[in-house]
Amino acid sequence: MWQFHPNSLLLVFSFCLNLILGLFLLRSFQLRLVKYLLVMVLGAMLWVGAYGMDFILIHQTWHKVFVSIVHIGVALSGLGAILASLEFTQNGHRITRTLWVFLSVQPILMFIAVILDPIFHTLISDSYIITVNDRIQWKQELSYFTLFLEFGITGIWTVYVFFFVIKSILETKPPARYRYYLLLFTCSIVWIAGITNYMGFKPIAGLNLTSVALSFQVIVIFFAIAYYRMFDLIPLVRGEVVDELEEPVVILDANNRVVDWNIAAEQLFVEGRRQLAFTSAQNFFHTYSDLSHRIETLPEKRTHTHWNWQSKNPTQEWEVRAKRIRDKQRVNIGLVIVFRDISEQKKLEVQMADANRNLLFANGTKDRFLSIISHDLRGPLAGIKMLLKILNEDMKEKDAKIAEMTQSLVDASESVFSLLENLLEWSKLQRGQEEFHPHYYKLDSIVSESVELFELNAKNKSIEFEIDVPSHAMVYCDDRMIFTILRNLISNAIKFSHKNSKVKITARAESKFWRVNVIDFGMGIAPDIRAKLFHVGEVIKSLGTQGESGNGVGLLLCQEFILMNAGEIEVQSDGVSGSTFSFTIPSQPV
């Protein structure tokens, strides 16, 4: 007989909530806590679904079917509640094969009781129809065996779970502690509903509210998982990607218990041991007490920490990076530790340090060698140069042929002396001994002083100077460096100019700079040679119009001095009709 019963509405509503929740949970089925919660949801659905149908359809045969389904649902939901509670309190490591054997006893015995009930009344001892609020419904008396299964065994497991819940409450701090209070509260409601129903107290007449209370517990646990982000620590941090990493990864909870690790960490630390899940960091890293001590003493307020560590057998250098995992309230809920092998990096660093020391030694030896040569040769060579100039002037009046030879000697000594000057300046620059003293100077004075130095050289090649530098041009620079730059550029201009030509020196204002151009109309610079200018290490060999040699050292020195004075240098040449060297000098401090 079919009938409408108000109690069935509440039960159908609970069934629909569990169904919706179960479908939603399937999306996150890879999480262990969700799997256990699904067992609980399935049991609750069987319980409230069959219980609701027992109110609507009054039939002797169907009543026995509904009662059987109800008690199977009770057993399944109880199993799921125990598993979910253990995982919820971060005691999932206790769910071992042995525990599974003990947990499966109750559902198996319940299934046997359902099968044998038609013969031996192992499930219910009596069942009859009663009238409540003018509506009929079934009333059954549970057998002692069923009472033992549903109250005795479930009570034992509940005490087991309560022990870990209370332990977790004592070991954690607020607000993380509140989730354990929540579990304790909902579990207590289920038991209160079951005991009061057995004692005959029913807030809603004729309805056992235990199934509804269980559905409420399922919903509360589900939302607690989301609110407290219970899935953050292991499944999302681990994943398949973490297992594929070559770097060892170890995950700890808020109590410094190792909850998970990847394959690389297992090879490094586990060493064939078993049952290490949720063991202490000291036990997990038992062969490395220094490492476990460092982990246990990490500052809780610092999110990121890293240090270097050395393992044994084999000996390897590791960079250890630890990151605190926090919930929405910024409460520490765990720690992720990643080990990166830096053994090869350390070896390379040692090799680089050795190479740098050798390089510094070689560089220092070179600088000292250049300095000694430059200083020791500069004085005698200056004397030889002056004597050759005097001899050359004297020979011009006596013997023209000998005068040409002495002129060649004068040019050669000038070239060697200029090279020594450049080498001396370059060695001082490389050793950091070049002093920089900028001040305001008149540009035309520096140019005039530089030109005077080469008047005799220019006269010997019948080269004229054409100077176009405004008298009001003021520059902010180290005048000695700018003089050296002009000395080298003018020397090159004369060296690569043809006889009876000219060298132009001009200056033009450009914003906060003055641009100086040294222009010659000689043989020009080939493109391949021009590409090598201003590059250290490039070998440049060139000859002037009268066989004068060039090596490019002076231009390197020019570039360094220009940069020290906050300027730029560039060269333009078509390789045929002369060259233009251009550089800038600031007109005020930059």
In this prediction, residue 1 carries a pLDDT of 77
What is the rounded distance in angstroms from the CA atom of residue 275 to the CA atom of residue 352?
A: 45
Third-level CATH fold of 349-434: Helix Hairpins (1.10.287)
H-state helical runs in 431-454: 443-452
Q: Is this model's pTM higher than 0.85 or not?
A: no
Q: Which residues contact 567 (CB under 8 A, 6 or more apart)?
A: 513, 583, 584, 585, 586
Residue carrying the six token digits 């609980």 = 40
Looking at domain 6-227, its CATH architecture is Up-down Bundle (1.20)
Instruction: Write out residues in the chain with pLDDT < 50, as ranges.
Output: 232-233
* Residue 340 identity (one-letter amino acid): R
Residue carrying the six token digits 């078509």 = 574
What is the rounded distance in angstroms from the CA atom of residue 65 to the CA atom of residue 138?
A: 13
What is the rounded distance in angstroms from the CA atom of residue 103 to the CA atom of residue 106?
A: 6
Would you mind telling me the total number of residues written for the chain in this entry? 590
In this prediction, residue 231 carries a pLDDT of 52
What is the rounded distance in angstroms from the CA atom of residue 116 to the CA atom of residue 146?
A: 12
In this prediction, residue 150 carries a pLDDT of 92
What is the rounded distance in angstroms from the CA atom of residue 204 to the CA atom of residue 51?
A: 15
In this prediction, residue 229 carries a pLDDT of 58
In this prediction, residue 287 carries a pLDDT of 87
In this prediction, residue 159 carries a pLDDT of 94
| DSSP line for 203-253 | SSTT--THHHHHHHHHHHHHHHHHHTTTTIIIIIHHHHHHHH-SS-EEEEE
Domain boundaries in the chain? 6-227, 239-341, 349-434, 436-590
In this prediction, residue 232 carries a pLDDT of 45
In this prediction, residue 241 carries a pLDDT of 66
Q: DSSP E strands: which ranges in 91-170?
A: 124-132, 135-142
What is the rounded distance in angstroms from the CA atom of residue 562 to the CA atom of residue 482?
A: 8
| Inter-residue long-range contacts of 450-455, CB under 8 Å, 24+ positions, other chains counted | 450/483, 450/486, 450/487, 450/490, 451/490, 451/505, 453/487, 453/490, 454/490, 454/491, 454/494
Third-level CATH fold of 239-341: Beta-Lactamase (3.30.450)
Q: What is the CA radius of gyration of the chain?
A: 47
Write out the two tokens for 347: 């070896």
CA-closest candidate to residue 494, choices 413, 414, 426, 425? 414
| Cβ neighbourhood burial of 312 (10 Å; 0-12, 13-18, 19+) | exposed
What backbone torsions phi and psi does residue 434 show, to the nearest 5 degrees? -80, 115
What CATH number labels 436-590?
3.30.565.10
